[in-house]
A and B are shown apart, each in its own frame.
Chain A
């Protein structure tokens, strides 16, 4: 488990992370969401032992990460701008990782180079941004880490490669209990991948929970009435937001789906339907409810 307690990081006196309390269970795929400069990358660098915390602590498997060589051999980090050794090819990078990471899996590496269609003899520096990211992912995954930290992992990848990466991560999570933390400023990337998500804004963790729980506690209902009822008739529901378009009412409601639908059915609508909101919509509604200026948080 990756756990941060009161985690604080300052750059030139300014807090990039402020008292972050977070728990990421073993084997989970955790999505860390936030706008640019929110502190996502800083958290990942702290989790990979690159940065030294200025306050609080961050541990993996109960051990402090910074300057812990043994623990760091279990952690693979792919930064937002992946670094490669000068003039290195993918093979050379793999050779370097093989030397550095004791659990480097040659079979997995061979499987990955079959999945990702890259020229393994070409210099990585001459490759496109997306190909470079694939190269970084191959070497990081082949290191067989227990913790995989990916900063803006989907940046530059095309739709097919996104899908491939997602399936690889899910498989690794299920088969060998790989704990993955992925940061993204785009919630859609994480929608059907992460079992947990957290939102970070101005260095503060605003929100963190299981994706299913989040989705189960908020619902989007659309309904039509012959005669539009007074808003007060919905007072029995925990309504987050109501919108009207002609005779159709769109409503965001917190609570159990069955109870919500039972309540609405009693109002005799012509039509009523509960639609699963997107993760992005849920975040927007939750944040608006908490009084945040959502447009500036989620892009």
Chain B
């Protein structure tokens, strides 16, 4: 029998790589078909539907509207596929005979890890590249517009995120002793750590005056590489202004985590004992970290259920019970029984102690968090928002003056919100204060009357395009129907309103407004947009201008349109 022998002798690691790639070839073909169905398949169908002959308004399709979500979907799919391939290719670690077989092959640990790692990633890059090429190809069609740079950046980010996610997953793969424990630890850590950060956030909101509300805190985003990668990626792709520094920081962080994770995975793997196949964990640290996370979640959950959102003695009693129960349950699942209850109880106790330490730290003021105001020299710009006002200052003096007063008056705790944000040379600082505006009238009016705010108001007017404009009035007695106005009428309203701003009084802050006016229309992205004018009694020019528009008569004359028609 003649046998084929390759004349070129490749390194066994490369040969193992080729075998592994072949093994997952079927999955790769399926993924390629799936990705190409999304892009160009679905996208072309969608564009065709939008640009159908019945839609006479739109002759050109702006692909930029779809690109961020499209790139995000492709990134999620390719990253998930690469992690799945990693799980498949490293499953040999978890069986006694398979572990013996692969570890007896003529390869050192580094080659074995590298061949399996790259055989999980490179097959995903092929369909991924095809999909991005398809996105670029779509742009070649005459009636489709889009930003090719966005696609190319998306491609680069996708590769970075995929690499980082796989490198970070390797730590769990190497540290686990069985597939079950790999899945448990992988999801417990990556989901659990996000929940723990939400718990931290809730504690910060309770203890720290000024802690920003309604935003994803930085420590939450940075808690897990996955969360950081995808949240930041979504922010970078969503069309908001991105600086070169933002891109550099994102890239640097992703590369840093990738390198650190790969080094850690390699060191752990080179010291990993083959006999650890089939046991729960090859390295106990991963078990302890996950058990602590579960304990913290259990403690907080039970404490909150039984004591509401109040950190009373009752909360702590049930937190101890919850922490212990959660840790024991986690231990029982991982150790396949209750042999390690004592150890689990200790870990549960540590979880509660960690929550207690956090509460104590926050209660002590967290190194003066609530009274901290940045040095003026370190501030690049400052933003403030309250009521209808949202304005950015290159010179932060007005914002800092307001901030200082809030800090000195201890916030004047109430229900009205002031958000302050500083963009610093290194990082940013955000605060949210619940105050009574009447204690800060002078400072707030100063901001309202500032040139920056007037510019901000003009920008809000300028975002409306075309003639699909309408306004409605609310003057404490009735809510008018929506009335169509022209662009020149809107411009007139803008000039009148801006001219009244310097005469604003505390009425504008009180909420007891003479009237308000809602403007609705389309922005340049053809998205619905809305702006509300707060109009006080002495805004004579605005009130006169609105009267001059004869809105009531125009309603009667039938120039109204419902939102649905619109």
Q: Does B246 contact A (CB under 8 A)?
A: no
Cβ–Cβ contact B275 & A51, under 8 A? yes
In Å, the complex CA distance between A52 and B275 comes to 9
A contact residues around B106 at 8 Å (CB): 69-70, 72-73, 75, 100-102
Q: A73-B12, A82-B97, A96-B19 are in contact. Are A68 and B108 (CB under 8 A)?
A: yes
Q: A79-B97, A81-B97 are in contact. Are A69 and B108 (CB under 8 A)?
A: yes
Cβ–Cβ contact B97 & A99, under 8 A? no
Query: Chain A nearest CB: distance from B109 CB in Å?
Result: 6
Nearest B-chain residue to A75, judged by Cβ: B104
Cβ–Cβ contact B105 & A83, under 8 A? no
The 3 A-B residue pairs with the shortest CB-CB distance, nearest first, are A73-B106, A83-B101, A99-B15
B residues 72-118 near A (Cβ < 8 Å) are 95-101, 103-109, 111
In Å, the complex CA distance between A181 and B2 comes to 32
A contact residues around B12 at 8 Å (CB): 69, 73, 99-100
How many A-B pairs fall under 8 Å by CB?
A: 76
In Å, the complex CA distance between A98 and B111 comes to 18
In Å, the complex CA distance between A100 and B104 comes to 11
Q: Chain B 401-432, CB within 8 Å of chain A: the 1/0 string?
A: 00000000000000000000000000000000
Query: Chain A nearest CB: distance from B277 CB in Å?
Result: 10
A residues 73-132 near B (Cβ < 8 Å) are 73, 75-77, 79, 81-83, 85-86, 96, 98-102, 106, 109-110
Cβ–Cβ contact B273 & A52, under 8 A? yes
Q: Does B336 contact A (CB under 8 A)?
A: no
Q: Does B190 contact A (CB under 8 A)?
A: no
Q: Chain B 1-39, CB within 8 Å of chain A: the 1/0 string?
A: 101010001101001101100010000000000000000
B contact residues around A77 at 8 Å (CB): 100, 104
Query: Chain A nearest CB: distance from B102 CB in Å?
Result: 8
In Å, the complex CA distance between A233 and B109 comes to 65
B residues 282-314 near A (Cβ < 8 Å) are none
Q: Chain A 159-179, CB within 8 Å of chain B: the 1/0 string?
A: 000000000000000000000
In Å, the complex CA distance between A50 and B1 comes to 34
Q: Does A38 contact B (CB under 8 A)?
A: no
Cβ–Cβ contact A49 & B104, under 8 A? yes
Query: Chain B nearest CB: distance from A95 CB in Å?
Result: 9
A100: which of B15, B96, B109 is its contact (CB, 8 Å)? B15
Q: A45-B100, A79-B100, A83-B101 are in contact. Are A51 and B95 (CB under 8 A)?
A: no
B contact residues around A100 at 8 Å (CB): 12, 15-16, 105-107
In Å, the complex CA distance between A98 and B16 comes to 11
B residues 485-540 near A (Cβ < 8 Å) are none
Known: A69-B111, A79-B97, A81-B96. 12 other contacts (CB 8 A): A50-B99, A50-B274, A51-B275, A52-B273, A67-B108, A68-B108, A70-B106, A86-B23, A98-B5, A99-B19, A100-B12, A101-B106
Query: Chain A nearest CB: distance from B87 CB in Å?
Result: 14
In Å, the complex CA distance between A51 and B277 comes to 12
A contact residues around B16 at 8 Å (CB): 99-100
In Å, the complex CA distance between A79 and B100 comes to 8
In Å, the complex CA distance between A110 and B1 comes to 7
Nearest B-chain residue to A54, judged by Cβ: B273
A contact residues around B15 at 8 Å (CB): 99-100
Number of interface residues of B (CB under 8 A): 30
B contact residues around A11 at 8 Å (CB): 275
The prevalent SS among residues of B at the interface is: helix
Q: Does A184 contact B (CB under 8 A)?
A: no
B contact residues around A79 at 8 Å (CB): 97, 100-101
In Å, the complex CA distance between A83 and B105 comes to 12
| Listed A/B pairs (26) with beta-carbon separation below 8 Å | A45-B275, A48-B104, A50-B99, A50-B100, A50-B104, A50-B274, A51-B274, A52-B273, A67-B270, A69-B12, A69-B107, A77-B104, A81-B96, A81-B97, A82-B97, A83-B95, A83-B100, A83-B101, A85-B19, A98-B5, A100-B15, A100-B106, A101-B106, A106-B5, A109-B3, A110-B1
Query: Chain B nearest CB: distance from A147 CB in Å?
Result: 11
In Å, the complex CA distance between A102 and B1 comes to 20
Q: Chain B 381-393, CB within 8 Å of chain A: the 1/0 string?
A: 0000000000000
Q: A69-B111, A100-B12 are in contact. Are A50 and B103 (CB under 8 A)?
A: yes
Nearest A-chain residue to B99, judged by Cβ: A50
B contact residues around A68 at 8 Å (CB): 108
B contact residues around A49 at 8 Å (CB): 103-104
A contact residues around B274 at 8 Å (CB): 45, 50-52
A contact residues around B99 at 8 Å (CB): 50
Query: Chain A nearest CB: distance from B501 CB in Å?
Result: 73
A contact residues around B109 at 8 Å (CB): 67
Q: Chain B 525-563, CB within 8 Å of chain A: the 1/0 string?
A: 000000000000000000000000000000000000000
B residues 118-153 near A (Cβ < 8 Å) are none
In Å, the complex CA distance between A291 and B158 comes to 69
Query: Chain B nearest CB: distance from A259 CB in Å?
Result: 48
In Å, the complex CA distance between A99 and B97 comes to 20
Nearest A-chain residue to B109, judged by Cβ: A67
B107: which of A72, A82, A85, A102 is its contact (CB, 8 Å)? A72
Query: Chain B nearest CB: distance from A106 CB in Å?
Result: 4
B contact residues around A75 at 8 Å (CB): 104, 106
Nearest A-chain residue to B273, judged by Cβ: A52
In Å, the complex CA distance between A52 and B109 comes to 12
A contact residues around B96 at 8 Å (CB): 81
In Å, the complex CA distance between A164 and B98 comes to 27
Query: Chain A nearest CB: distance from B418 CB in Å?
Result: 60
A contact residues around B19 at 8 Å (CB): 85, 96, 99
A contact residues around B5 at 8 Å (CB): 98, 106
Query: Chain A nearest CB: distance from B76 CB in Å?
Result: 28
B contact residues around A73 at 8 Å (CB): 12, 106
In Å, the complex CA distance between A263 and B275 comes to 55
A contact residues around B103 at 8 Å (CB): 49-50
In Å, the complex CA distance between A83 and B18 comes to 19
In Å, the complex CA distance between A86 and B108 comes to 22
Q: Chain A 247-279, CB within 8 Å of chain B: the 1/0 string?
A: 000000000000000000000000000000000
Query: Chain B nearest CB: distance from A15 CB in Å?
Result: 13
B contact residues around A102 at 8 Å (CB): 9, 106
B contact residues around A85 at 8 Å (CB): 19, 23
